[in-house]
Amino acid sequence: MPRCYNEMSQPESPAWLEPQEAGPVILKGKTKRCGSCKQELQLEEFYRHRGKHDGRQTVCKECQKQQGRERHAANPQPFRQQVRRWRVANRERSRQLDRDRRARAPEPLRQQARDWRARNPNKVREDNSRRKRENREKVAAHCALYYAVKTGRITPEPCRLCGRSAEAHHPDYGRPLDVAWLCRTHHLRLHAKLFSLLPGAP
pLDDT tens for each residue of 101-125: 888 888 888 899 999 999 999 999 9
Residue 50 lies in a domain: yes
Residue 87 lies in a domain: no
Predicted confidence band at 25 (pLDDT cuts at 50, 70, 90)? very low
pLDDT tens for each residue of 86-96: 999 999 999 89
Residue 61 lies in a domain: yes
Give the pLDDT score at 200.
52
Q: Count up the domains in the chain and report the number.
A: 1
Residue 150 lies in a domain: no
Residue 96 lies in a domain: no
Give the pLDDT score at 45.
93
Q: What is the pTM of this model?
A: 0.46
Q: Which among 105, 103, 62 is positioned nearest to 185, based on CA atoms?
A: 103
Q: Could you tell me the residue range of the domain that residue 27 belongs to?
A: 20-70
Q: Which residues contact 47 (CB under 8 A, 6 or more apart)?
A: 56, 57, 61, 64
Q: Say yes or no to pLDDT of 72 above 80.
A: yes
Residue 189 lies in a domain: no
Average pLDDT on 131-147 reads: 92
Give the pLDDT score at 165.
92
Give the pLDDT score at 22.
41
Q: What's the first-to-final CA gap in the chain, in angstroms?
A: 83
Give the pLDDT score at 13.
44
Q: What is the CATH number of the domain that holds 65?
A: 3.30.60
Of the ranges 120-124, 132-136, 187-191, which one carries the lowest mean pLDDT score?
187-191
Predicted confidence band at 199 (pLDDT cuts at 50, 70, 90)? low
Q: Per residue, what are the HEC states of the chain?
A: CCCCHHHCCCCCCCHHHCCCCCCCCCCCCCEEECCCCCCEEEHHHEEECCCCCCCEEEEEHHHHHHHHHHHHHHCHHHHHHHHHHHHHHCHHHHHHHHHHHHHHCHHHHHHHHHHHHHHCHHHHHHHHHHHHHHCHHHHHHHHHHHHHHHCCCCCCCCCCCCCCCCEEECCCCCCCCCCEEECHHHHHHHHHHHHHCCCCCC
Q: What's the chain's average pLDDT?
A: 83
Give the pLDDT score at 24.
40
pLDDT tens for each residue of 7-23: 444 445 444 444 444 44
Task: Write the single-letter amino acid at 112.
Answer: Q
Q: Say yes or no to pLDDT of 140 above 50.
A: yes
Of the ranges 8-12, 71-75, 189-193, which one carries the lowest mean pLDDT score?
8-12
